[in-house]
Homo-oligomer: A and B are copies of this chain.
């Protein structure tokens, strides 16, 4: 096994994604400028670009190049960003900081933040449609649109946020917490991997394997997020640490303790890696999976 430099891989892929995002987002002086400034403010604030990287890594696992999936990779980042902008609103989680800077509505006001989120979600689907120019069979694009919509809507991310909001300050059973995490976070991470494989030309067996692995990886990611919220410093996280507990939000450490939470996350990743290896889909994915649980921010 040759030594794989994960840091270099992530840095390179992130640079590709950042360049594509800068190109695909309307410029700040395209009318009406305010909303385009608001969109770029949050998208270009950085972040791990985990979803785009999973799209790319999924495509690479079946032998396709990053360029083939780049519009869709960017679309997943736009959907993630829209969800953060709306979640941060005073009517929702009421957060002042995100990725180390003021949240969108603190800079642009609530109305513009709502509209910027709406516009990012809308643009995301346009980018997926434009990915049709890069694949042979346009039916695949329709499948990708449907899969992303499922993962982002009330079968996925929105469902998780709804139950999260409705659970605040309440004692909830572990099943409800798992429901929140698998829907709010894991569904979109799973879809990211899956649509990468789909656009890269993966067959039904590859799609089934990647779906299961994506689900486990997504849950692990969110458990680690919970752990970092307890342990991390605000500066590392770029958002307010301890915020979940303060808000009476259910978390894995609160329900199971830190030790058991770490074990759960680690088990999820092992399961994901075993599944990927079994389907012959390893590539860079096991290393990425281990990074997901090993990360410190």
Residue positions of A touching B, CB distance < 8 A: 26, 30-32, 34-36, 39, 82, 86, 89, 91-92, 109-112, 114-115, 117-119, 121-123, 125-126, 128-130, 132, 137-139, 141-143, 145-146, 149-150, 152-154, 158-159, 161-163, 165-166
Shortest Cβ gap from A189 to chain B (Å) = 17
A121 contacts B123, CB within 8 Å?
Answer: no
B36 contacts A154, CB within 8 Å?
Answer: yes
Shortest Cβ gap from A26 to chain B (Å) = 6
Shortest Cβ gap from A123 to chain B (Å) = 6
B111 contacts A126, CB within 8 Å?
Answer: no
- For the complex, give the distance between the alpha carbons of A128 and B109 in Å: 32
A149 contacts B166, CB within 8 Å?
Answer: no
Q: Which residues of B contact A126 (CB under 8 A)?
A: 145-146, 149-150, 153
B34 contacts A162, CB within 8 Å?
Answer: yes
Query: How often does this chain occur in the complex, in copies?
Result: 2
Q: Which residues of B contact A159 (CB under 8 A)?
A: 31-32, 35
By Cβ-Cβ distance, the 3 closest A-B pairs, closest first, are: A126-B149, A91-B110, A138-B138
B92 contacts A114, CB within 8 Å?
Answer: yes
Query: Can you spell out 9 A-B residue pairs with CB atoms less than 8 angstroms apart?
Result: A32-B159, A89-B114, A91-B91, A91-B114, A119-B153, A121-B121, A122-B154, A125-B125, A129-B149
- For the complex, give the distance between the alpha carbons of A39 and B26 in Å: 30
Shortest Cβ gap from A28 to chain B (Å) = 12
- For the complex, give the distance between the alpha carbons of A165 and B91 in Å: 19
Which of the residues B110, B149, B162 comes within 8 Å of A112, measured between beta carbons? B162
Q: Which residues of B contact A118 (CB under 8 A)?
A: 82, 86, 117-118, 121, 158
Q: Which residues of B contact A141 (CB under 8 A)?
A: 138, 141-142
- For the complex, give the distance between the alpha carbons of A39 and B32 in Å: 29
Q: Which residues of B contact A122 (CB under 8 A)?
A: 121, 149, 152-154, 158
- For the complex, give the distance between the alpha carbons of A193 and B178 in Å: 44
Which of the residues B114, B125, B165 comes within 8 Å of A145, measured between beta carbons? B125
Q: Which residues of B contact A121 (CB under 8 A)?
A: 118, 121-122
Which of the residues B82, B110, B123 comes within 8 Å of A154, measured between beta carbons? B123
- For the complex, give the distance between the alpha carbons of A77 and B209 in Å: 37
Q: Which residues of B contact A114 (CB under 8 A)?
A: 86, 89, 91-92, 114
Residue of B nearest to A112 (CB): B162
Which of the residues B26, B39, B137, B154 comes within 8 Å of A138, measured between beta carbons? B137
- For the complex, give the distance between the alpha carbons of A126 and B125 in Å: 10
- For the complex, give the distance between the alpha carbons of A126 and B144 in Å: 10
Given contacts A91-B110, A114-B91, A137-B138, contact A32 B166 (CB under 8 A): yes
